[in-house]
Amino acid sequence: MARVQAKVRREQLIEAAVRVAARDGVAATTTRAVAAEAGASLASVHYCFDSKQELLQEVLISIINELTGNWTTGPEDGAGAAALLRAGLGALWEVVEREPGKQQVTYELTHYALRTEGLEGLARWQYGVYYERSAQQLRDVAARAGVEWALPLPVLTRMLMNMIDGLVLGWLVDRDSELARGALNAFADTLGALTRRP
């Protein structure tokens, strides 16, 4: 393998690890498998990372940053809260169905982090990002629809985010897209009704 800056090689290894994890699962993401996927030697993994744990941490950060990057804002202003929520959730759902493997990895790494000493904070960071994005979406919807939420934002944020999380997990198990989208839309309408004129 050509001589490359450690920083560059590090990125290559993270991307390789993401591919392996998405395709074969976190349990099968061994340092050897990652090295092979990146076309590098086993030693290069330990040269670029202090430990496998650090590599997996970077994998989660990479996936979360990618998946939560662009939650679209939906249709034009003036629409109702429910319609705006439907549009936003629909866009999010397309991302989910496009790469099921990556979605599975996010859950696998959550549980890995929760069980690994010194990595409990990673799972909390992950869900913190989720909640932040959801809260942002709720504020945006309210502003665009010209309404205010009838319940405390933290409660609504948690309902929204955990509902999505549960729907995704449920879909990963049975891949019933029709039912999942039906529940997603029903939830959007239900949540959208929890508004009042300011």
Partner DNA sequence: GTCTATAAAGTGATAGAC
Partner DNA sequence: GTCTATCACTTTATAGAC
List residues near a second copy by CB under 8 A.
Answer: 24-25, 27-28, 104, 107-108, 110-112, 114-115, 123-124, 126-127, 151-152, 154-156, 158-159, 161-167, 169-170, 172-174, 179-180, 182-183, 186-187, 190-191, 194
Start-to-end CA distance of the chain, whole Å, equals: 63
The verdict on 197 binding DNA (CB under 7 A) reads no
Rounded to a whole number of angstroms, the minimum distance from the CB of residue 40 to a second copy is: 25
**196 bridge partner residues:** 148
- How far apart are the C-alpha atoms of 81 and 150, rounded to whole Å? 12
According to CB under 7 A, which one of 11, 15, 23, 52 is a site residue for DNA? 52
Which lies closer to DNA via its Cβ, residue 6 or residue 114? Answer: 6
Which lies closer to a second copy via its Cβ, residue 40 or residue 85? Answer: 85
Q: 65 touches which of DNA, a second copy, none (CB within 5 to 8 A by kind)?
A: none
Selected range binding DNA among 48-56, 104-112, 131-139, 144-152, rule: CB under 7 A: 48-56
The verdict on 118 binding DNA (CB under 7 A) reads no
The verdict on 9 binding DNA (CB under 7 A) reads yes
Of 178, 173, 16, residue with least CA distance to 100? 173
- How far apart are the C-alpha atoms of 72 and 62, rounded to whole Å? 19
The verdict on 53 binding DNA (CB under 7 A) reads yes
Selected range binding DNA among 24-32, 77-85, 133-141, 146-154, rule: CB under 7 A: 24-32
Please work out, in degrees rounded to the nearest 5, the angle formed at the alpha carbon of residue 186 by the alpha carbons of 156 and 188: 40
What residue type is assigned to position 22 of the chain? Answer: A
What residue type is assigned to position 92 of the chain? Answer: L
Non-local CB neighbours of 35 within 8 Å, separated by 6+ positions: 13, 16, 41, 42, 44, 45
User: Which DSSP state fits 117?
Assistant: T
- How far apart are the C-alpha atoms of 151 and 99, rounded to whole Å? 33
Residues that bind DNA (CB under 7 A): 1-7, 9, 28, 30-33, 40-44, 46-48, 51-53
